[in-house]
Amino acid sequence: MDIWSWISQLPDSDESDSDHSPRVFELATGSDSTRSIYLRADRTSGSESEAAVTFTVCLQGFHPYNAEKPLWVSEKCHLSGKNPFLPLFLQLLQEIISLSPNAPNSTCPRAQLQKLKPDPIVWIMDSHTPESFSTFFNLVFILRLFWLCACDAPSEAGSLYFQSLLAPAIETMSSKPAPVLRTFLVTVGVDTELCFMRTLGYIIAKWCILREIGVGLQALIPPPCRNPGFSYAAENHGVWVLKGYAPMMMMKLERSNGQKGQFPPRIDPKESILKYALAHQQLEALVQLEYSVTYHEGFIHVRARVDNVRLHVAKLGFNNQNDDAGYGGEKHFPSRVRIWVGPEVGATYVGGLSLGRSTENKEKEVEIQKIVKGNFEKMRLSNAKAVAKTSTRTRTKNWRMDQDAEGNAAIFDAVLYDNVTGQEVAMGRPGGSGDEPVHGLRRRYAGSNRAFTKSGSVVLAGDEYGEEVGWRVGKEMEGNVLKWRIGGEFWVSYWPNEAKSWYYETRYVEWCDEVDLPLIPAKTNE
């Protein structure tokens, strides 16, 4: 399926399409060939009788309509301009953003988002090959089609959409993300980026739930995703940035006490509702490293330090929709993050790596209290007792930060521990017995000693990770733009917060990308 190629090859003048008959592109067809979802292009007249086209998404053969049923109509696209289908692309993007899941307590609600400016979108369309842009356009079109088939169409049309349209698109994006998607996210700004990626995450969550339940959609099971979610890296003004988005059910399940099927009817209904709420969540990760370059007599010194690591678990739902099903306080939480940065594998121009933090060996405060009790009677010998009490006081933190190295790559590691049991959360499980487990992460979004923000996020700043790390690069590399690799491993866990449940799980995702390291000294005026 290549929607964009079909659209871009439509006749651009009345002379080449004299009969004015509508052109039809089959998006999906049912197994009996009587039901279909298709896109229709109708020739109309624009201003001053110039040629224009309007697109309509239609259903055919679905009960109770059976006959043709229009679902959506586009704005007019005038065929005489340089980018005749820019209005169509802008309309699709704007409607996706306006229909995105609500973020509770957001400082930038969807209603305040201005309309997308056409200039960046035109640049995106013009700066990529037709094949590359086609992959992104198809994804955008299918995302917009989700709301039409899931909300405004019969259930059979929704099943056909999930099986024939959405599943191949997700599989393509997971195995080979479209480079235009990265360009789009970098260009449109972070507010629009969040709306777009949360819409994509919400749709993937619904698709994963249907895949697990079955309901006749067993064919939705794809091969294992090599790149779950989506990530990209960039260099900007002396900062390396790695950003990633991963819907929970696309992440690898590392540990769990649940059954393989997420929502089979044979398990406790309360546990099914809990898992349904947990499925509508998405990890949003941002790693920001500040770097600097100094030039010396015989070498170039490259330094990097952690500026910010922000991990947020977003709830994918709507204010007017009870996606939480009574489990609004139950969320996954970040339990470990491992970041690495360094030269490309096999690089011989790096002479050494220096770390900036010692391994912690905390001192313990020990308080010894001795009590001596005596019993003296009217006897020649005295009877005395001595009692000694020892108490130890230690200061504990939920997160432990470490620096390490592997080859020429510097590693920044942060691990969450349970203060009650002392175990690493990502590799452990809640303890205790009885009606509910006992652990130190209950009511984790309240109280003064919580390890998370009230919204469930984690912010790890440079003051936690210690001093900067540094590499010595050969002087002969001056004047080049090197490729520096940056990556991260992220773990999220679920332990009961307020719910009385023994269910727990840990999920994992890994991303890696390259960023530029320019070794070009600034010119000085002599």
What is the reported pLDDT for 48? 61
Decide if 116 contacts 94 (C-beta within 8 A): yes
Tell me the sheet residues that pair with 458.
311
- Residues 381-398, mean pLDDT to the nearest whole number: 60
Greater confidence (331 vs 389) lies with 331
Q: CB-based burial of residue 76 (10 Å sphere; 0-12 exposed, 13-18 middle, 19+ buried)?
A: middle
Greater confidence (208 vs 303) lies with 303
Residue 322 reports pLDDT greater than 50:
no
Which range (143-147, 298-302, 332-336, 374-378) has the least confidence?
Answer: 374-378
Residue 508 reports pLDDT greater than 90:
yes
What is the reported pLDDT for 262? 47
Greater confidence (287 vs 433) lies with 287
Residue 523 reports pLDDT greater than 60:
yes
What is the reported pLDDT for 394? 53
Q: Where are the domains of the chain?
A: 3-85, 240-262+285-359+398-526
Task: Work out whether strand 281-295 and strand 239-247 pair parallel, antiparallel, or are unpaired.
Answer: antiparallel
Residue 339 reports pLDDT greater than 60:
yes
Which range (97-106, 176-185, 347-356, 483-492) has the least confidence?
Answer: 97-106
Residue 221 reports pLDDT greater than 50:
no
> What would the DSSP string read from start to end of 66-134?
-S-EEEEEPPPEETTSSSTTHHHHHHHHHHHHHTSPBPTT-SS-GGGPPPPPHHHHHHHHHSS-HHHHH
Rounded distance between C-alpha atoms, residue 444 and residue 447, angstroms = 8
Confidence of residue 514 (pLDDT cuts 50, 70, 90): very high
Confidence of residue 22 (pLDDT cuts 50, 70, 90): confident
Confidence of residue 245 (pLDDT cuts 50, 70, 90): very high
Confidence of residue 524 (pLDDT cuts 50, 70, 90): low
In the chain, % of residues over pLDDT 90: 39
Which range (122-126, 342-346, 390-394, 413-417) has the least confidence?
Answer: 390-394
Residue 321 reports pLDDT greater than 50:
no
- Residues 490-507, mean pLDDT to the nearest whole number: 92
* pLDDT tens for each residue of 32-91: 778 899 999 998 866 666 788 999 999 998 877 778 889 999 999 988 778 899 999 999
> CB under 8 Å to 64, separation ≥6 — which residues?
154
Residue 16 reports pLDDT greater than 70:
no
Decide if 305 contacts 289 (C-beta within 8 A): yes
Confidence of residue 196 (pLDDT cuts 50, 70, 90): very high
What is the reported pLDDT for 359? 80
Q: What angle do CA 510, 511, 514 make, to 5 degrees?
A: 150
Characterize 186-224 residue by residue with b for buried, 16 or more Cβ atoms within 10 angstroms of its Cβ, and e for exposed: bbbeebbbbbbbbbbbbbbbbbbbbbbbeeebeebeeee
Tell me the sheet residues that pair with 346.
none
In the chain, % of residues over pLDDT 70: 80
Greater confidence (469 vs 108) lies with 469
Phi, psi (degrees; rounded to nearest 5) at 300? -115, 130
Q: CB-based burial of residue 133 (10 Å sphere; 0-12 exposed, 13-18 middle, 19+ buried)?
A: buried
> Across the chain, which distance is largest between two alpha carbons, in Å?
130
Residue 284 reports pLDDT greater than 80:
yes
Classify 138 as helix, strand or coil: helix
* pLDDT tens for each residue of 81-135: 788 999 999 999 999 998 888 766 666 656 556 678 889 899 999 888 888 898 8
Highest mean pLDDT: which of 17-21, 305-309, 447-451? 305-309
Confidence of residue 332 (pLDDT cuts 50, 70, 90): very high
Greater confidence (443 vs 524) lies with 443
Residue 383 reports pLDDT greater than 60:
no
| Average pLDDT along the chain | 82
